[in-house]
């Protein structure tokens, strides 16, 4: 429409509005005036045409386009706890939802009027909230305490925000025992949420020992499939705990 109102052909090219090294626009509507103002500071060059993205010399890619249009949020301390290279994708997604407080726990569903009771699915008599599920509920606490023991960690169960903080400071490195902690943390939140759903939607109940077995199975499977960590005496008991085959000592 702008091109039409300017009296230019639909096949018009940029050179048609350049005359003797200057922008030279036909008299036309205010839409064209806006276009004129936008291009006013673009230097005119007689070099052959070439296509750039964002800056001269930058080739277009969908990744650059995505980074160009997306809004960046501020970085968070727990990023590496979720999105590390050895993550188990479905566990990482579940943990990310937990960090974002996005699980549809019963306290929220009750507020929406979706359910009539917010009672914890692990039949402790308390209200199901994110903090309760991870890991204030006696059922969740038993699972998490045992999983921490498999990581050779003996400490009290902390409120959720402090658990996240603890993991952010004690499980962020590339060392084997830190990788084990990250995998164990994500696997525990995942399997507790799955068990909660199993109870709510299928009326099936697994004992807490079975949840620990599932966590151990997933974590040991992941550890056994990646051989790039050092096998040394320090990690011997961790490998035994998790059932990871031992390699050559270093
Ligand atoms: Zn409970």
Give a three-class secondary structure readout of 187-218.
HHHHHHHHHHHHHHHHCCCCCHHHHHHHHHHH
Q: What is the pLDDT of residues 25-58, one digit of tens each?
A: 877 667 778 878 888 888 888 777 777 887 777 8
Percent of the chain with pLDDT over 90: 56
H or E stretch at 164: helix 160-170
Compute the distance from residue 144 Cα to the ligand 1 centre, in Å. 13
φ/ψ (deg, to 5) at 245: -60, 135
Q: How far is the CA of 96 from the centre of ligand 1 (A)?
A: 21
CA of 63 to the centre of ligand 1 (A): 44
CA of 32 from ligand 1 middle (Å) equals: 66
Peptide bond into 178 cis (omega under 30): no
pLDDT at 245: 78
**CA–centroid distance, residue 49 to ligand 1 (Å):** 67
CA of 7 to the centre of ligand 1 (A): 73
Distance (angstroms) between ligand 1 centre and the Cα of 138 equals 6
So what's the pLDDT on residue 242? 92
Q: Rounded to a whole number, what is the largest CA-CA distance in the chain?
A: 83
> Ligand 1 centre and the CA of 102: distance in Å?
18
Q: Which of 190, 192, 194 is nearest to 93 (CA)?
A: 190
Q: What is the predicted pLDDT for the residue at 112?
A: 93
Q: For 158-208, what is each residue's pLDDT tens digit?
A: 999 999 999 999 998 888 999 999 999 999 999 999 999 999 999 999 999
94 neighbors 189 (Cβ within 8 angstroms):
yes
CA 44 / ligand 1 centre spacing (Å): 70
Distance from residue 189's CA to the centre of ligand 1 (Å): 14
User: What pLDDT does 3 receive?
Assistant: 65
Å from CA of 200 to ligand 1 middle: 13
According to the model, what pLDDT value does residue 250 have? 43
Mean pLDDT of the region 202-223: 95
Q: Where are the domains of the chain?
A: 2-69, 79-242
Distance 129 CA to ligand 1 centre (A): 9
- Quick check: 235 pLDDT over 80? yes
Question: How far away, in angstroms, is 201 Cα from ligand 1 center?
Answer: 17
Predicted pLDDT at 204:
94
pLDDT digits (tens, 9 = 90+) for 119-160: 999 999 999 999 999 999 999 999 999 999 999 999 999 999
Distance from the alpha carbon of residue 214 to the mean position of ligand 1, in angstroms: 20
Task: State the average pLDDT for the chain.
Answer: 88
């Amino acid at each position: 429409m702008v091109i039409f109102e300017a009296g230019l052909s639909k096949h018009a090219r940029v050179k048609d509005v350049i005359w003797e090294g200057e922008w030279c626009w036909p008299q036309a509507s205010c839409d064209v005036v806006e276009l004129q103002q936008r291009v006013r500071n673009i230097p005119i060059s007689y070099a052959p045409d070439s296509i750039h993205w964002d800056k001269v010399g930058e080739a277009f890619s969908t990744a650059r386009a995505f980074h160009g249009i997306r809004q960046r949020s501020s970085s968070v301390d727990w990023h590496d706890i979720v999105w590390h290279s050895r993550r188990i994708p479905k566990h990482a997604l579940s943990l990310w939802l937990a960090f974002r407080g996005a699980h549809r726990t019963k306290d929220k569903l009750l507020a929406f009027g979706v359910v009539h009771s917010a009672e914890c699915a692990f039949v402790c008599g308390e209200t199901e909230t994110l903090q309760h599920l991870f890991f204030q509920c006696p059922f969740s606490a038993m699972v998490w305490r045992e999983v921490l023991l498999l990581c050779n960690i003996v400490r009290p169960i902390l409120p959720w925000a402090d658990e996240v903080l603890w993991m952010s400071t004690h499980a962020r490195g590339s060392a084997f025992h830190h990788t084990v902690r990250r995998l164990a943390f994500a696997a525990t939140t995942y399997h507790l949420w799955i068990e909660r759903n199993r109870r709510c939607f299928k009326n099936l109940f697994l004992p807490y020992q079975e949840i620990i077995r599932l966590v151990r199975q997933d974590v040991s499977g992941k550890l056994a499939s990646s051989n790039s960590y050092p096998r040394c005496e320090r990690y011997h008991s961790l490998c035994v705990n998790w059932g990871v085959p031992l390699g050559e000592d270093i």
